[in-house]
Amino acid sequence: MGLLSLGTPLPWKEVEKYASHVREHGITQFLHIWNNTKDKKGNILLWGDEVEYMVVSYDDEKKNALLSLRQAQILHDLEENEIKQRKIEDAEGVEPNQRIPTFHPEYGRYMLEATPGYPYTASFDDLLNVERNMERRRTIAIANLLPNEFPVTLASYPRLGAPGQFTDPYYPPTGPASRSFFLPDELINPHARFPTLTANIRERRGSKVAINVPIFKDEKTPSPFIDPTIPVDRDLYPEDANAKDGAALADHIYMDSMGFGMGCCCLQITFQATDIDEARRLYDQLAPLSPIFLALTAASPAWRGYLSDQDCRWNVIAGSVDDRTEEERGLKPLQKNRFVIPKSRYDSIDCYISRGAEYREEYNDIELVKDDEIKKMLTDAGVDDALANHYAHLFIRDPIVVFSELVNQDDANSSDHFENIQSTNWQTMRFKPPPPGSGIGWRVEFRSMEIQITDFENAAFAIFIVLLTRVILSYKLNFYLPISKVDENMKVAHYRDAVLNEKFYFRKDVFAREESHSEEVPVEEEYRLMTMSEIINGKKGDGEEFPGLVPLVQSYLDRMSIDVDTRCRLNAYMELISKRASGELCTAASWMRGFIRGHEAYKFDSVVSAEINYDLVKMVEKLTKGEEWDGVGASLLGGLAGGR
């Protein structure tokens, strides 16, 4: 359960009073960590993934696939099972990589998160273990579900918040925390932290969050599309007026609650670096890859019962926790607030933090909003400018949830206030300092990827990112490009079929030779627009050669002594990634869109009915079980070595 401290959560009006207190003590806590661990060297690579699930509950009679709200019971059963199993493992001295996986709560009351029971090492045995471990997690989850339930790994649920019943059991779509038109508060994990996050974000912002995803205009979709399912005349809460006052846009799918974003599932990878400098370098080098892998894992084509004209979840989550006030969003002059803030607290990173030889000032080309007092605290304590800027930027935010019992802490031994701000900056990359007193090293988390339908795909993407980190370090690769260009890529990554139709800014010469960063070369000449296939598979000839990320990883693997079985499996993973990039196989978003549009009940009006959704989820379950890869799922998974 980690960060989910128990206690009495304060309402927003009270939290506000403690904001400076939390920030100052948070930074003091960070400085203790920094002083204790900044010079620590020689940590080994340890890494792990996080897989998020949605538990569906089938109503086979009514042909409806509902979201099961039994999370508390399921997690309770999983925990009892884990405790029992751990005792056996301890008695028998089971190898770390064979230990039972761990389940965690998530925002949605239909969600589960699972991680390996122990972080993986750099060994190739452990790489081979990743997919098995993911399979084991799903098997364990299934053993703790009802016969009509199944844990799917869908990034966004097509009928979350759609008219009619979409949860089991049914609740009317109202509730004081979110005040949503579409989602009942009963959908939120009831642990005090989550409803409080929801309510306090809404209160801090001064209105409900407002997310507008462009609707996919199909042959019979009305134009302009004015959504008839928005209860614009409801008058239950003051915020009910938001939609009428302009929050709901025509030609868009309007969503008004944190659950639409935080109720999505993603695939995250955390790895430990040998020391703080390596962690900073990996953070910077992976940042330009975050939009690339968002586009490549795109799996979110439908929202609130409609097909959307975008394929990814990211901007929906960004909007779903956007607690910025009107002043902070630049809609009113600053009076009460301190800063105009360009992005949500869930968004892409705003600055690079490493200062190795390949770094140039021109890469940090977006204006960084900073808290000057925080910056001074950090630099006075000897923290370098780059890292001080990073935290002075994260710490422009207020805490959203404060537990009254935890206001006063022992700053030398706690990181609670630090984590309060740090872990509610949900960015594409996260730089994770060692927890106090833990022996854990500096870690970096890669957070942009969408969850994939099968364990095979999730293992493939997780392993590919980890191998990339090895290649970056051993070949001294340089992926730097101006961070404004990373942001442009982030935007483009959302577009429908971006993998096929869009180009992304990418660095031309990724080998960090001395001359390649000579100040003579203007930064604009260091990068160009590339297709996804060029970036992943490479390009030959015509003066625009690019090695490609898959060939780079392959050449790295060629130098290793790996047994044949392992190499074959790794090749299968890379084949998937390579074919997704070339378009030979499509993304999950594209496959789902195709399934929906090809369904006999689809009326070409963008509506994903309960019946279509039911058949889609049933088919997703089959794919998860290794069925239909060369059948209905052929465009997604055809020809791959799924059955081992």
Each residue 260-299 as x (binds ligand ADP by CB under 6 A) or -, in order, gives --------x-xxx---------------------------
Q: How far is the CB of 579 from ligand ADP (least distance, A)?
A: 27
Query: In terms of CB distance, is 274 or 554 closer to ligand ADP?
Result: 274
Tell which positions 128-187 bind ligand ADP, by CB under 6 A.
Answer: none
Q: Which of 1, 2, 35, 73 binds ligand ADP (CB under 6 A)?
A: 2
Which tokens is 311 given?
């394929």
Q: How far apart are CA 286 and CA 444, in angstroms?
A: 9
* First CA to last CA distance, the chain: 34
Give, as one character, the DSSP assignment of residue 177.
Answer: T
Question: Rounded to the nearest whole angstrom, what is the least distance from the CB of residue 114 to ligand ADP in the complex?
Answer: 9
Partner in contact with 49, chosen from Mg ion, ligand ADP, none, beta carbon below 5 to 8 Å by kind: ligand ADP
The Cβ of residue 598 has, within 10 Å, a number of other Cβ atoms equal to 10
Extract the tokens encoding 203: 């209160």
Looking at beta carbons only, is 193 or 324 nearer to Mg ion? 193
* Minimum distance of ligand ADP from residue 258's CB (angstroms): 17
Residue 272's binding partner among ligand ADP, Mg ion, none (Cβ under 5 to 8 angstroms by kind) is ligand ADP
Contacts with Mg ion, 34-63, as mask; x by CB under 5 A: ----------------x------x------
Give the β-pairing of 302-303 and 306-307. antiparallel
| Distance of alpha carbon 362 from alpha carbon 316, whole angstroms | 30
> What span, in angstroms and rounded, lies between the C-alpha atoms of 407 and 422?
16
What DSSP character marks residue 546? B
Residue 452 contacts residue 267 (beta carbons within 8 Å): yes
**Binding track, positions 28-57, relative to ligand ADP; x by CB under 6 A:** ------------------xxxxx-------
Going residue by residue from 159 to 198, which x/- string records binding to Mg ion, judged by CB under 5 A? ---------x------------------------------
Smallest gap from Cβ 293 to Mg ion, in A, equals: 15
String of contacts with ligand ADP for each residue 97-136, x by CB under 6 A: -------x----------xx--x-----------------
CB nearer to ligand ADP: pick between 119 and 173: 119
Nearest distance in Å: CB 465, ligand ADP: 12
Residue 371 binds what, of Mg ion, ligand ADP, none (CB under 5 to 8 Å, by partner type)? none
The 3-state DSSP class for residue 567 equals helix
Contact 478, 285 (CB under 8 A): yes
Count of residues near ligand ADP by CB under 6 A: 17
Binding mask 387-426 for ligand ADP (x = CB under 6 A): ----------------------------------------
Residue 271: name its binding partner from Mg ion, ligand ADP, none (Cβ under 5 to 8 Å by kind): ligand ADP
Of 144 and 242, nearer to Mg ion (C-beta) is 144
CA pair distance 118, 392, nearest whole angstrom: 33
* Rounded distance between C-alpha atoms, residue 227 and residue 249, angstroms: 9
The binding track of 108-147 with respect to Mg ion, each residue x by CB under 5 A or -, is -----x----------------------------------
The identity of residue 90, as a single letter, is D
| Interface characters, 530-559, with Mg ion (x: CB under 5 A) | ------------------------------
CB of 505 to Mg ion, least distance (A): 27
**Cα separation values, 310 from 289, 305, 534, 590, Å:** 20, 14, 22, 10
Instruction: In angstroms, give the least distance from the CB of 424 to ligand ADP.
Output: 12
57 binds, among ligand ADP, Mg ion, none (CB under 5 to 8 A by kind): Mg ion
Q: How far is the CB of 111 from Mg ion (least distance, A)?
A: 8
d(CA 350, CA 341): 11
Q: For CA atoms 218, 266, 466, 633, give the dihedral sign.
A: negative
Minimum distance, C-beta of residue 262 to ligand ADP, in the bound complex (Å) = 13
The nearest distance, CB 239 to ligand ADP, in angstroms, is 30
Applying CB under 5 A, which part among 10-18, 207-215, 260-268, 460-468 lies near Mg ion?
Answer: 260-268
2 binds, among ligand ADP, Mg ion, none (CB under 5 to 8 A by kind): ligand ADP
Residue whose entry in the numeric block shows the structure tokens 């190898």: 95
Residue nearest to ligand ADP (CB): 48
Query: CB-wise, 162 or 463, nearer to ligand ADP?
Result: 463
458 binds, among ligand ADP, Mg ion, none (CB under 5 to 8 A by kind): none
Nearest-angstrom CA–CA distance, 473 and 486 = 21
Q: What 3 state SS string does 127-160 have?
A: HHHHHHHHHHHHHHHHHCCCCCEEEECCCCCCCC
Nearer to ligand ADP, 47 or 546 (CB): 47
In the bound state with Mg ion, the residue whose beta carbon lies nearer, of 401 and 510, is 401
Nearer residue to ligand ADP within complex by CB, 104 or 360: 104
Bridge partners for 187 per DSSP: none
**Nearest-approach distance from CB 448 to ligand ADP, in angstroms:** 13
CB of 507 to ligand ADP, least distance (A): 27
Task: Supply the angle between the helices 71-92 and 124-143 in degrees, to the nearest 10.
Answer: 130
Distance CA 234, CA 590 (A): 36
CB count, 10 Å around CB of 281?
24
Dihedral angle of Cα 197, 199, 201, 205, to the nearest 10 degrees: -170
Residue 48 interaction partner, one of Mg ion, ligand ADP, none, beta carbon < 5-8 Å per kind: ligand ADP
Q: How far is CA 123 from CA 66, 129, 577, in A?
A: 40, 10, 21
User: Distance between CA 644 and CA 303 in Å, rounded?
Assistant: 34
Can you tell me the distance from the alpha carbon of 549 to that of 70, in angstroms, rounded to the nearest whole number?
Answer: 42
Radius of gyration of the chain from its Cα atoms, rounded to whole angstroms: 24
| Cα–Cα dist 188/195, whole Å | 7
The nearest distance, CB 475 to ligand ADP, in angstroms, is 22
CA distance 506 to 486: 9
Q: Which residue has the tokens 């960590």?
A: 33
Min. distance of Cβ 4 from Mg ion in angstroms? 9
Q: Which residue, 10 or 112, is less far from Mg ion as judged by CB?
A: 112
In whole angstroms, give the CA distance from residue 604 to residue 306: 11
In what helix (H) or strand (E) does residue 531 lie, and over which residues does it extend? strand 527-531
Q: Which residues here bind ligand ADP, judged by CB under 6 A?
A: 2, 46-50, 104, 115-116, 119, 268, 270-272, 440, 443, 445
Binding site for Mg ion (CB under 5 A): 50, 57, 113, 168, 268
